[in-house]
Structure 1
Amino acid sequence: MKYLRVELRYPPDLMHPIHRLIDESDAVDRDVLLHGTVLDEPDDTFLFYVEGDIDVYTDALRSVDRIRQFEVTRIDESGHYVFLTQRRDAVDDATFDPLQRTGVVVVPPIDFRPNGIARLTVIGNGGPLRDALAELPERIETTVLRIGEYDWRQDLFDPGLTDRQFDALAAAVESGYYESPREATVEAVAERIDASTSTASEHLRKAESAVMAAFMDLREVP
């Protein structure tokens, strides 16, 4: 089953006021939609993970008319869950209606980032996936970051490796390249993936960099 890792870039006038806060303030570091319930009703219910100054975030929530109610649960010094209900608007309908179709599933989380960017994973069949992307609003810039075979275990930790980087990393692990003391050389990894030594070395360097960066993103760095 195919999956797409998709990036949506909203123009400023279409951004949700809370997500605009991420651009305008250094107080909020992360705003991640973990789960949501969207029904044939005016209001939707969502669970967000928010990292940063929660007072700034909740003040912003209170200033948005479409936010009906919210509840905050502290996780640690900077991380909080925010459970909220909000009234759906035309931008929500235009963005998510194309994704609400037979043969397509949006897999949480949806990560809201600076510059009006939202990143999400969509799985399903080829035809419905293509139709869903084609029907997204023209003013929302849509970029497919990755295409591959879906594996739910990847969501537990996904450093975004290319296929060749993954192959090199797998070959290195299997051959004992990362054992202490080291049991294999870069040349051995290169032979396993049918590549030159320099190419294998480059794949490993980039893979290691991506893995470590993704790992550090999992927690707050002092």
Structure 2
Amino acid sequence: MSLYQASFRVRHECPYRDLSERYPDLTIREWYLSECQVLEITSADTPTEQLLEDIRDLGTVLHESVDDAGVHVVTQSCLCSLEGSIIERFEDHACLYQPPTVHQQGWEHYTVIAFDEGDVRSLLTELDADRDIEVLSKTALSEQQVPHSMLTPVDQLFEGLTDRQLAALQLALENGYYEQPRKTSLRDLAAQTSVARSTFEEHLRKAENKLLTNAGQFLRLLTAMSSGNPLQVDRDAPAVDTAD
């Protein structure tokens, strides 16, 4: 079965069109999470105060780095509704949106993947009716070429984890608990918190269980694209001892 990938850019009235037109060296990358919108804004030029002010007006600044190498800002804003958005049009035509949306020089750049070439054509025809559009590429893909990033929405991976479970998981990861050999112990990790060792271990184990359960559906999709089982014993081949 073939898949079809289309990359195109559109120009229409949108909050970021004016900004990216006024600052041609600016790149805005846009992600949609469950209830918020995250923007990564970069430029190799030293920004003016007016540019920084315009960027800060886009939402809550999560990160800002400004130096002679340019500017790098990450903002977050409320995503009240996607009703009537171009993303909904993708879904109406059975096209899978591949984030992020990239805004440059007054254009929005999108990439979608569909299971039928006709779905791509009908989507592009509809978009052409009410906005400027330029098709950059249309390509047939094999299943093995589907980008893994499409299969793993971040908010789904961490669905159901509590704030304490996420904090325990992050602490363990940052302190080398999952490295081989381990660089810390459960006792040492718990000592950095205000909870008992047994409580910390419970938070961590529940986080691991939920994370692996959530990842399971994506793991099955990924392994379904592989041929054979690398752990399956080939009785005709010599035994190889490897930890990879």
Taking structure 1 as the reference length, the TM-score comes to: 0.50
TM score, norm. by length of structure 2: 0.46
Structure 1 or 2: larger strand share?
1
Flag the structure with larger Rg.
2
